Structure 1
Amino acid sequence: MKANINLSFLLLFLLLIASCTDRKCRMSTVINKDGSCERTFEVQLDSSQLVSGKIDTIHNIVRIGTGWQLSWSVKGQNARHPFPFSRQTYDSIRSHISRRACDTIAVFISGKWRSAKDMGEHTCFNLDSVKTLKPQTELKRSFRWFYTYYSYRETYHRQNLSFKVPLEKFMTGAEIGFWFTGFPNLTKGLNGIEQDDIMSNIKDKYSKWLTTNYFETIYQLIVDNYSLVNKAPVSKQGFIHLHDAILQRFMTKKEEVIEEENTKKLFSDFFHSDAFSAVLDNEKLKENAYKTLSDYITLTQFSVDYQLSMPGVITDSGRGIIGNSLAGNDQHVISYRLTGERLISGNYSITAQSRVTNIWAFAITAIVIFTAVYLYIRKKRK
Structure 2
Amino acid sequence: MKTIGYLFTISGLLLMASCSSNHRMVTQIYPDGQISREVYAYGDSAFMAGDNTHSPFLFSIRGWQQIPLDASIPFVILGEKSNSLGKEDKLNVKVKRTWNIWENPPLLTPEKKWLEPLAVPQEKLEKHFRWFYTYYTFTCSYRQIEEKGPIPIEQFLNKSEQRLLFQGDLTDYQGMNGLELNDKLNDLTERFMKWYDESLYELRFETIEEWESKSGNKVFISKLKADKDAIKRAAMDKAKDTDLESIDMGELLDAFYQTTYFSTAYQKDKNHINQLFEEKCRPIELFGHQIKYELNMPGRLITANTSLREGDTPYWKVDAYRLLPGDYILEAQSRVPNIWAFVITGFLALLAICGMLYARWQR
2:65 alignment partner AA: W
Partner of residue 22, structure 1: 20
In structure 1, distance between residues paired with 2:224 and 2:107 = 51
Q: Structure 1 residues 167, 244: CA separation in 2 closer, same or farther (over 3 Å shift)?
A: same
2:282 to 285, 295, 298: 295
Equivalent residue, structure 2, for 1:72: 69
Mark the runs of 5 or more structure 1 residues left unpaired by the alignment: 1-8, 79-102
Amino acid at match of 1:145: W
Q: What's the CA shift for 1:178?
A: 2.5
2:30 to 10, 15, 32: 32
Higher deviation after alignment, 251-260 or 366-375: 251-260
Partner of 1:312: 299
1:366 aligns with 2:346: yes
- Partners in 2 of 1:40 and 1:224 — Cα distance? 43
> Kindly tell me: are residues 160 and 150 of structure 1, through their superposed partners in 2, closer, same or farther at Cα, counting changes over 3 Å?
same
Q: Which moved more, 1:297-306 or 1:65-74?
A: 65-74
TM-score (norm 2): 0.80
Contact residue 67 and residue 94 of structure 2 kept, 8 A = yes
User: Is the alpha carbon distance of 1:117 and 1:288 closer, same or farther for their aligned partners in structure 2, counting shifts above 3 Å?
Assistant: farther
Partner of 2:155: 169
Q: Find out whether 1:259 has 2:228 as its counterpart.
A: no
User: What is the CA–CA distance in structure 2 between the aligned matches of 1:178 and 1:117, rounded to whole Å?
Assistant: 37
Do the aligned residues in 2 keep the contact of 1:176 with 1:345 (CA within 8 Å)? yes
For residues 249 and 190 of structure 1, do their structure 2 counterparts lie closer, same or farther at Cα, with a shift above 3 Å needed? farther
1-structure distance, mates of 2:262, 2:344: 84
Structure 2 unpaired stretches of 5+: 1-7, 76-88
Cα shift at 1:272: 3.2
- Choose the corresponding residue for 2:168, options 169, 179, 182: 182
Q: Does 1:193 align with 2:192?
A: no
The answer to whether the 8 Å contact 2:300/2:335 transfers is: yes
Query: CA separation of 1:370/1:111 partners in 2, compared to 1, >3 Å: closer, same or farther?
Result: same
Q: Given the alignment of the two structures, is residue 61 of structure 1 paired with residue 63 of structure 2, yes or no?
A: no
Shift of 1:53: 4.5
Deviation at residue 170 of structure 1 after TM alignment: 1.9
Q: Is the 8 A contact 1:171 1:205 kept in 2?
A: yes
Distance change (3 Å), C-alpha of 1:44 and 1:118: farther
Residue by residue over 1:33-81, the C-alpha shift from the partner in whole angstroms, topping out at 9 and shown as x without a partner, is: 232211111122222333x355447553342122535252454499xxx
Offset of residue 30 of structure 1:
1.0
Q: Relative to structure 1, is the Cα distance of residues 117 and 190 closer, same or farther in structure 2, using a 3 angstrom cutoff?
A: farther
Structure 1: distance between partners of 2:207 and 2:93: 43
CA displacement at 1:129 relative to structure 2: 7.2
Corresponding position: 1:355 with 2:340: no
Distance 2:291 2:35 in 1: 19
- CA apart distance, 1:226: 4.4
Q: Once the two structures are superposed, what CA deviation does each residue of 1:191-245 show, in whole Å capped at 9, x if it has no partner?
A: 343223222222222222222222222323333444769996xx65444332222
TM-score between both structures, scaled by the size of structure 1: 0.76
- Percent identity, aligned pairs only? 24
- Preserved contact between residue 29 and residue 308 of structure 1 (Cα < 8 Å): yes
3-state secondary structure, aligned to 2:19: coil
Q: Distance in 1 between matches of 2:93 and 2:141?
A: 26
**CA 289–55 in structure 1, closer or farther in 2 if over 3 Å, else same:** closer
Over the residues paired in the alignment, what is the CA RMSD in angstroms?
Answer: 3.2
- 1 CA distance for matches of 2:315 and 2:331? 11
The answer to whether the 8 A contact 1:147-1:356 is kept is: yes
Q: Say if 1:230 and 1:278, in contact at 8 Å, map to a contact too.
A: no
Shift of 1:181: 2.2
Aligned partners of 1:166, 1:177: CA distance in 2, in Å? Answer: 15
What letter is aligned with 1:269? A
In the alignment, is residue 247 of structure 1 matched against residue 232 of structure 2?
yes
Inter-partner Cα distance in structure 1 for 2:331 and 2:97: 21
- Compute the displacement of 1:364 (Å): 1.7
**1:168 CA drift (Å):** 1.7
Rounded to whole Å, the distance in 2 between the matches of 1:138 and 1:129 is 23
| Residues 1-382 of structure 1 aligned to structure 2 (within 5 Å) | 11-16=10-15, 18=16, 21-50=19-48, 52-53=49-50, 55-56=52-53, 58=55, 60-68=57-65, 70-73=67-70, 75-76=72-73, 106-115=92-101, 118-119=104-105, 121-126=106-111, 128=112, 131-132=115-116, 133-161=119-147, 163-184=149-170, 188-226=174-212, 236-254=221-239, 256-259=243-246, 262-281=248-267, 282-291=269-278, 293-318=280-305, 320-322=306-308, 324-325=309-310, 330-331=311-312, 333-382=313-362
Aligned residues: 336
